[in-house]
Amino acid sequence: MISDHLNFHHLHYFWAVAHDGNLTRTAKTLHVSQSALSSQIRQLEQQLGEELFTREGRRLVLTETGTLVLRYADGIFATGAELLSTLQRGREQDEVLRIGTVATLSRNFQESFIEPLLGSKDVRLALHSGGFDDLVERLSQHAIDLVLSNRPSSSTARPGLRCRRVATQPVSLVGHDRRDSFRFPEDLEGASLVVPGADSDIRTEFDALCEQLGFAPRILAEVDDMATMRLLARDTETIALLPSVVVRDELRLGSLHEYCVVPGLVENFYAITVERQYPHALLRSLLSRTEAEILGRR
C-alpha cells in the first residue's frame, strides 16, 4: 500500500542516481556510502510499491514507473531550486540577470543581444561562458536565467526548457582584398581557407555543398571559437567562412570585404529559457524584440 506521505529525502537520492546512472559515482558525489544509498532507494520503492530501476550489466536503467517518477522529481527539485534562487535574489539590492553564452557564439551577437541593458543603471548583468550541455544543466537548476546558443535545445532532454530562434545570419566568405566580383566556388581554387571546426553545423553544410559541387577546398585552419575566427580573418591573408555578424565592424570599416554569401548556409541563434513561475522581469523585453533590433539593424 502506498503511503500518504512522500519521503523527499529518498526521492532526492533516487533523482540523483537516475540522472547519473551509476550508483557508486552518485554515492561519492552525495558523500554517502553505496549501501546507504541503495537502502534509501529500496525504501522509496517499498513506499511506492513499484520497482524504479532494473540492472543491465553494471548500469541502472529506469523502469516505466521509474521514468514517471523521475519526470515528477525533475519538476519538484527544479521548483525547489527556483524557490531558493528567487529568495536569494530577493535579498540582493539589485536583481542580477544571469546569461549563459555558448563559448563558440559570436561576441558581436552577444553584445547586440544585451545592448539595451548596457546603459541602464538599474540592471546588473552576469555573463557566463561555457559548453552547451553545462549551461543547459545550470539553466535547468535555475543557476542562470537564459542561455544564448547557436544550436537548439531539445525539450525532451530537459523538462521545462523553452527554445526560440531569435535571429538568423547568412554565412559569408570574407577576406582582405577588395574584389569586384567573386564566383563560388571557382574563385576559391588555390585559396587558403579558415573554417569552423568539424562539429559546427556551418562546417557540415559547407562540406556537403562543396562535395555536391565537386570542389575540394584547401583548409588552412579549423577553429571552434568565433572570436578566434575573427582574429584570423582580420590578421592573416586568408579567406574566412563565417557569419557576417562576426566581422560586422571590420566590414563596416573596410578592413575586411565580403566576397559572397554562401548559398544555403546560415547560422541560427537561439535563446533558451526554462519554465518558471517567477521569470526575470527583463527577459520578456529582451525576447520580444525583432531580429533586426537584436542584430542592430535599425
Range of the domain at 178: 169-266
Cα separation, 220 vs 238, whole angstroms: 8
Q: In the structure, what pLDDT confidence band is assigned to residue 121 with cuts at 50, 70 and 90? A: confident
* In a shared domain, residues 122 and 40: no
Domains in the chain: how many in total?
Answer: 3
pLDDT of residue 298: 46
Among 159-173, 247-261, 277-291, where is mean pLDDT lowest? 277-291
Q: In the structure, what pLDDT confidence band is assigned to residue 227 with cuts at 50, 70 and 90? A: confident
pLDDT of residue 89: 62
C-alpha cell at 125: 548583468
Q: With CA atoms as reference, report the closest residue to 106 among 283, 297, 294, 298.
A: 294
pLDDT of residue 166: 95
pLDDT of residue 278: 72
Pick the last residue of a domain from 21, 55, 86.
86
* In a shared domain, residues 148 and 285: yes
pLDDT of residue 93: 44
pLDDT of residue 120: 77
Question: Which residues have CB under 8 Å from 172's CB, separation 6+?
Answer: 241, 242, 243, 244, 258, 259, 260, 261, 262
The winner for highest mean pLDDT among 14-23, 75-84, 123-132, 257-266 is 257-266
Instruction: List beta partners, residue 270.
Output: 149, 165
Q: In the structure, what pLDDT confidence band is assigned to residue 260 with cuts at 50, 70 and 90? A: very high
* In a shared domain, residues 186 and 160: no
Q: What is the pLDDT of residues 45-81, one digit of tens each?
A: 998 989 999 888 778 889 999 999 998 998 888 888 8
- Average of per-residue pLDDT across 176-201: 92
* In a shared domain, residues 181 and 193: yes
Q: Is pLDDT above 50 for 91?
A: no
Q: In the structure, what pLDDT confidence band is assigned to residue 275 with cuts at 50, 70 and 90? A: confident
Residue 217 lies in a domain: yes
Q: Residue 148 is part of a domain; what is its CATH number?
A: 3.40.190.10
Cα separation, 200 vs 278, whole angstroms: 35
Q: Residue 228 is part of a domain; what is its CATH number?
A: 3.40.190.290
4 or 93: which carries more pLDDT confidence?
Answer: 4
Q: Is pLDDT above 80 for 201?
A: yes
| pTM of the full structure | 0.67
